[in-house]
Structure 1
Amino acid sequence: GLTCDNLLAAEVVTSDGSVLHASESTHEDLFWALRGGGGNFGVVTSFEFRLHPIGPTVLGGMMLYPVEQAPEVLRFYRQLSAEASDDLTAFAVLMTLPGGPRAVAIAVAWFGEPTAGEAVLAPLRAFGAPIADMVGPLPYLQLQQLFDAAAPHGLSRYWKSGYFPQLSDGLLDVLVDGAAGLSPLSAVLFFQMHGAATRVAPGATAFAARRDQWDIDILTQWTDPADSDAHVAWTRTFWNALVPFSEGVYVNHLDGDEAVARVRSAYGTNYDRLAAIKARYDPDNLFRHNNNIPPA
């Protein structure tokens, strides 16, 4: 499940300097808000988490395909991710390979028994005509670093993001057409929300987005500050074509120029409760340089 679903307790310094222990039994309202409410309520100085055994070796990696196959690859990805068990996570990426052509990737991670994982991933290995099959056993730490090279330090970045309850043919066609204009360092990323994260009630924590869906990001990156206006304008135009398909947004993927209404959409029915808790623990909105929830 989500990291916030595995938080057991936190030590928090609030706006008046108080040091509070928040858990299911102490400052329960603050604990509820911390699990998905961002940095609106104080400075967390320590976390206590529920841990899960994993690795050290898992089955995962990427399948790379030429961008000309993107319509078919993304439809296959739709089926693969929709049928995935809790042990399988699948991402998709439209991108430009370092020093090379544009491509589409399906990245997977299997956390169950390895032999069973090979059977589950057999249809992926058999699909299409990949440029490269890079799926295999690898250290869990290496899996976490899979896309590090695509986001080096020092680039300018701008992005737009939203939740999409379905990967309809119409949406995929808009994405493929829009991605034809990707600059060399930019990408379109598909993150799947499924499994344990969707079996928690929307009101159980501040994080309300608990249905099966996809988080799609247009991540634009460039090196020359003189190109900023062009990249921002391109990203916004691309995003505007996706808006009719989108419902809500992942709060950590909001960009800096989002309106208050979009922050509200990230929390859905939990927003008013969060605003009331904000008024209790930070009535003057000291912690406001964030995806802000003003005190009610």
Structure 2
Amino acid sequence: MTPRTPPTDTAPAGLRAGFEGAVHVPGDPGYDEARTVFNSMIDRRPAVVAQCSSEADVARALRFARDQGLEIAVRGGGHSVAGMALSEGGLVIDLRRMRAVEVDGNARSARVGGGATMSDLDRATQPYALATTGGRVSTTGVGGFTLGGGSGWLERAFGLACDNLLAADLVTADGGTVHTSAEENPELFWALHGGGGNFGVVTSLTLRLHDLPAMSMALLLLRPENGPEAVRTYRDVMESAPDAAGGACIYITGPPEEWVPEALVGRLVCAVLVTYAGTEAELRDVAAPLLALEREAEMIDAIDYADLQCMLDDPPGMRNYWSAEYLDGFPDEAVAAFCAGAATMPVSSGSQHVLFPMGGAVARGPADYPLPWRSSPWAVHPFGVWESERDDEQAKEWVRRVRASVMPWAGGAVYLNFIGREGQERVVAGFGERAYERLSRVKARYDPDNVFHLNHNVKPAVAVV
């Protein structure tokens, strides 16, 4: 869908009439803030940013954009690394004003506004000692995260975020509203379990919550030369660990924190993070082989889940380029390849070279959802973050080299929330071929003109006459 022309001076006025939220166009005082997203590499200038306060606002903005011939982008948390929350010269449906979270402690569920972040959700559920799987940083949008599958620290215990989706409300391409659950519009409900924002603007989600009376973590810092032993030990621990255990091995630049030795600050370090949905004593028992390793620093303690979610928050205003490969196995040769990838990682930046364990409730989840990567036991996630435009190619090339280095063990499936624009073949790999065909039929019913195409796009099926 190509925009015809930008709206006239009077057109935004037509949108503003009766609009509960705020409308920003170029030259407005709030326009530049409204178009700023997580990845500072993305610098697009929408014709209109419609900051919606209600479902009616969303429908109004959607109809306005279609009448004006404007490309539509949908913004929740704005964390898409490819900048899919913005359209150059188009209209952005910005949901950030719709971030309320209503917790029902008795039902163990939460109704979450389409613009809520993980922090909004986690802080709301914490007083009830309840939680659900969330993104690994607090600023991620709940909506896009969940619709794309939703991988996080609690996934081995509670499943992926979408496994905990109980219901959703959408505004569809024609401006109508749809409620979906396992009983109501079940095929659309299936599609929302990994199919992303292809089917409409999700204005609210209802999520299942789980009891979480205790949370603990251990973060160990090692010199990079000790990284291979630590990664092998972590692999062996996690392959027999209870579902309550999670975490990651992460090569990072040593942060300037009080507990980090000065000799490690600003230098490459191997961090081993063990998260545990339980007590510190239980964690220490599971992580005993890791705690026997030689290390330079450690932080082991009970922690509120909402605080754990903030630990790896990325600083704003950074440039980002990410990718991922999901592995069918992680033998010693793969460990060596993973650790070697850290040697060329841009140091003194926010980049992270990450290994995630899968399994547990993730692997046991519904096999028919469009999430073929859920059966993979390991994921490698090169997460490039840097400051200066002059480092763009170096950082991107590092991400590509990491992917190439682990390809001998890769299964081909990929979590699409972890990647940017890598071509239609990767999109299909993210859903699986058979699931993609089924998603395409759902797309044809709810968005036959592919209005919602700024995403990992599912093209609508062509009707056979």
**TM-score strictly above 0.5:** yes
Question: Residue deviations 1:165-202, cap 9 Å, x none?
Answer: 21122222122222101112222111221111211232
Question: Residue deviations 1:60-109, cap 9 Å, x none?
Answer: 13111110101111111111111121111131101221343211111111
CA distance in 2, matches of 1:274, 1:13: 18
CA distance in 1, matches of 2:279, 2:340: 38
* SS across alignment from 1:199: coil
Give the corresponding residue for 2:367.
202
Give the corresponding residue for 1:13.
171
Change in CA separation of 1:208 and 1:230 when aligned onto 2, cut-off 3 Å: closer
Give the corresponding residue for 1:67.
224
Which entry has the higher C-alpha Rg, 1 or 2? 2
Q: Quick check: 1:32 aligned with 2:190?
A: yes
Instruction: Determine which of 165, 168, 171 is the counterpart of 2:331.
Output: 168
Correspondences of 1:1-296 after superposition (within 5 Å): 1-55=159-213, 57-98=214-255, 99-126=265-292, 128-148=293-313, 151-184=314-347, 185=349, 186-203=351-368, 205-247=369-411, 248-256=413-421, 258-268=422-432, 269-296=434-461
TM-score by structure 1 length?
0.93
Letter in 1 for 2:367: P
Question: Residue deviations 1:124-147, cap 9 Å, x none?
Answer: 212x21111212112222211121
Assess if the C-alpha contact under 8 Å between 2:230 and 2:290 holds in 1: no
Give the corresponding residue for 2:74.
none
CA distance in 2, matches of 1:234, 1:87: 33
Assess if the C-alpha contact under 8 Å between 1:61 and 1:146 holds in 2: no
Letter in 2 for 1:264: V
Letter in 2 for 1:173: A
Letter in 2 for 1:23: S
CA distance in 2, matches of 1:195, 1:235: 28
CA distance in 2, matches of 1:210, 1:100: 35
Change in CA separation of 1:237 and 1:208 when aligned onto 2, cut-off 3 Å: closer
Assess if the C-alpha contact under 8 Å between 1:81 and 1:90 holds in 2: no
CA distance in 2, matches of 1:190, 1:91: 6
- % identical equivalent positions: 36
Change in CA separation of 1:236 and 1:79 when aligned onto 2, cut-off 3 Å: same
Letter in 2 for 1:71: P
Q: Which runs of 5+ in 2 are unaligned?
A: 1-158, 256-264
Give the corresponding residue for 2:142.
none
Letter in 2 for 1:224: S
Q: Which runs of 5+ in 1 are unaligned?
A: none
Assess if the C-alpha contact under 8 Å between 1:34 and 1:206 holds in 2: no
Tell me by how many angstroms 1:53 deviates: 1.8
Decide which structure has greater strand share: 1
Tell me by how many angstroms 1:293 deviates: 1.0
Question: Residue deviations 1:42-69, cap 9 Å, x none?
Answer: 11111111111214x4111311111010
Assess if the C-alpha contact under 8 Å between 2:251 and 2:271 holds in 1: yes
CA distance in 1, matches of 2:279, 2:238: 19
CA distance in 2, matches of 1:130, 1:173: 19
Assess if the C-alpha contact under 8 Å between 1:201 and 1:210 holds in 2: no
* SS across alignment from 2:357: strand
Letter in 2 for 1:163: Y
Tell me by how many angstroms 1:118 deviates: 2.8
Change in CA separation of 1:8 and 1:104 when aligned onto 2, cut-off 3 Å: same
CA distance in 1, matches of 2:221, 2:252: 10
Worse-superposed segment, 278-287 or 220-229:
220-229
In the comparison of the two structures, how many residue pairs are matched? 290
Change in CA separation of 1:228 and 1:251 when aligned onto 2, cut-off 3 Å: same
* SS across alignment from 1:32: helix
Assess if the C-alpha contact under 8 Å between 1:8 and 1:50 holds in 2: yes
Change in CA separation of 1:237 and 1:91 when aligned onto 2, cut-off 3 Å: closer
TM-score by structure 2 length?
0.60
RMSD between aligned residues: 1.5
Letter in 2 for 1:274: L
Worse-superposed segment, 3-12 or 263-272:
263-272
Question: Residue deviations 1:111-131, cap 9 Å, x none?
Answer: 1354333322222212x2111
Question: Residue deviations 1:208-258, cap 9 Å, x none?
Answer: 3332411211111221112212222232233222223212111111222x1
CA distance in 2, matches of 1:95, 1:208: 29
